[in-house]
């Protein structure tokens, strides 16, 4: 059974204080690993897809990296508007497998 564990559950940062969120996964062959951002009362918003170990993607203050067992979301010099819950999800390889398995998320609060 595919599993995704995210840590920490919650993270409070001062504005400008860089940090990383962790996503550990077990999956029977990885088709893709996804990062989403979710604001309260809204649906998840797509950030990145990573497909193979060593791959990196960047967008503004966010950078996602992937190894064979985990992914990191690095946040550089965060701003209060980066406050949200960040969700990690995996999609297993294999014919006919389209579902994503999500972790519980990391709730990030950036204090001015």
- Which residues contact other proteins by CB under 8 A? 4, 34, 36, 41-46, 49, 87, 89, 96-105
Closer residue to other proteins, CB minimum distance, 4 or 110: 4
Phi, psi of 82, deg, nearest 5: -80, -5
Q: Residue 40 and residue 46: Cα distance in Å, rounded? A: 15
Shortest separation between residue 81's beta carbon and other proteins, angstroms: 18
Nearer to other proteins, 44 or 78 (CB): 44
Q: How far is the CB of 5 from other proteins (least distance, A)?
A: 11
Q: Are 11 and 21 in contact (CB under 8 A)?
A: yes
Pick the closer one to other proteins by CB: 54 or 96: 96
Choose between 59 and 79: whose C-beta lies nearer to other proteins: 59
Q: How far is the CB of 97 from other proteins (least distance, A)?
A: 8
Minimum separation from the CB atom of position 50 to other proteins (A): 11
Residue carrying the six token digits 């579902």? 99
Task: Return d(Cα 33, Cα 111) in angstroms, integer.
Answer: 29
**Burial bucket for residue 90 (CB in 10 Å: 0-12, 13-18, 19+):** buried
């Amino acid at each position: 059974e595919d599993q995704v564990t995210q840590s920490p559950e919650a993270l409070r940062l001062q504005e400008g204080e860089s940090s990383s969120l962790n996503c550990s996964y077990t999956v029977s062959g990885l088709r893709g690993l996804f990062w989403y951002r979710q604001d309260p009362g809204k649906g998840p918003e797509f950030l990145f897809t990573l497909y193979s170990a060593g791959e990196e993607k960047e967008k503004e203050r966010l950078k996602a990296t992937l190894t064979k067992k985990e992914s990191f979301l690095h946040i550089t010099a965060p701003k209060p508007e980066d406050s949200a819950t960040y969700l990690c999800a995996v999609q297993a390889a294999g014919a006919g497998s389209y579902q994503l398995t999500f972790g519980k998320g990391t709730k990030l609060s950036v204090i001015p």
